[in-house]
């Protein structure tokens, strides 16, 4: 129990530091607090090595795209954004079959955008606004946070001890 408490405290300190460091840049965003909370969770939960292999896997997908015309719908970047959501952001039409995405009119040079947008604040902001358009972002409730957590990450266990929602809620309500 004490270990979890220390982990939460460490995350809260990291959240506050990142919040202060980025306030000038993103403070006008209604979703600033929730996006920073997701960012802290994802950078803490997935190491740089993990993200390196995700990008490597995406690179392999790119190499085979010319033949298969499909991309695996993986999560990439510091925000762990699914490829389909990045395609939505850049307005590329596609169809999904199982975990494969078949984009229409997708050029190989657009893969660079996938790499760049996987760690973009505005992509995650747009995704959340489109998915939860009726939410009042300045004052989210616990049920709304739970819906966001379930949509964003399912009920994934964070660092083997608690679920994503619990961590998201703790960071969001952190003073």
Digit-coded pLDDT (tens) for 14-43: 999 999 999 888 888 889 999 999 999 888
Q: Into how many domains does the chain fold?
A: 2
b/e code 71-81 from CB counts within 10 Å (16+ = b): bebbbbbbbbb
pTM of the model as a whole: 0.85
Q: Are residues 140 and 106 in the same domain?
A: no
Provide the residue range defining the domain that includes 82: 49-117
Contact 165, 145 (CB under 8 A): yes
Q: Are residues 67 and 105 in the same domain?
A: yes
Contact 82, 75 (CB under 8 A): yes
What average pLDDT is seen over the chain? 86
Contact 38, 168 (CB under 8 A): yes
Strand partners, 72: 100
Q: Are residues 139 and 164 in the same domain?
A: yes
Higher model confidence: residue 123 or residue 66? Answer: 123
Is the pLDDT confidence value at 98 over 60? yes
102-150 pLDDT, tens digit per residue, is 998 777 778 888 888 888 899 999 999 999 999 999 889 999 998 998 8
- Residue % of the chain over a pLDDT of 90: 33
Q: Are residues 41 and 54 in the same domain?
A: no
- Classify residue 148 by burial, with Cβ atoms within 10 Å: 0-12, 13-18, 19+: buried
Query: Angle formed by the axes of helices 32-45 and 164-172, to 10°?
Result: 130
Q: Examine the fold and report which residue of 89, 117, 145 is the final residue of a domain before the chain moves on.
A: 117
Contact 113, 86 (CB under 8 A): yes
């Amino acid at each position: 129990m004490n270990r979890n408490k220390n982990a939460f405290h460490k995350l809260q300190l990291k959240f506050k530091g990142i919040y202060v460091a980025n306030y000038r840049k993103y403070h006008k965003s209604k979703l600033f607090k929730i996006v920073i909370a997701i960012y802290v969770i994802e950078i803490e939960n997935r190491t740089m090595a993990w993200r390196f292999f995700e990008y490597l896997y995406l690179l392999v997908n790119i190499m085979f795209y010319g033949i298969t015309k499909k991309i695996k719908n993986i999560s990439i970047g510091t925000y762990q954004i699914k490829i389909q959501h990045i395609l939505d952001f850049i307005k590329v039409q596609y169809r999904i079959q199982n975990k494969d995405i078949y984009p229409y009119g997708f050029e190989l040079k657009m893969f660079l955008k996938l790499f760049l947008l996987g760690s973009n604040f505005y992509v995650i902001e747009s995704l959340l606004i489109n998915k939860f358009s009726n939410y009042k972002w300045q004052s989210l409730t616990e049920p709304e946070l739970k819906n966001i957590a379930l949509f964003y990450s399912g009920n994934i266990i964070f660092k083997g001890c608690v679920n994503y929602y619990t961590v998201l809620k703790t960071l969001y309500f952190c003073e």
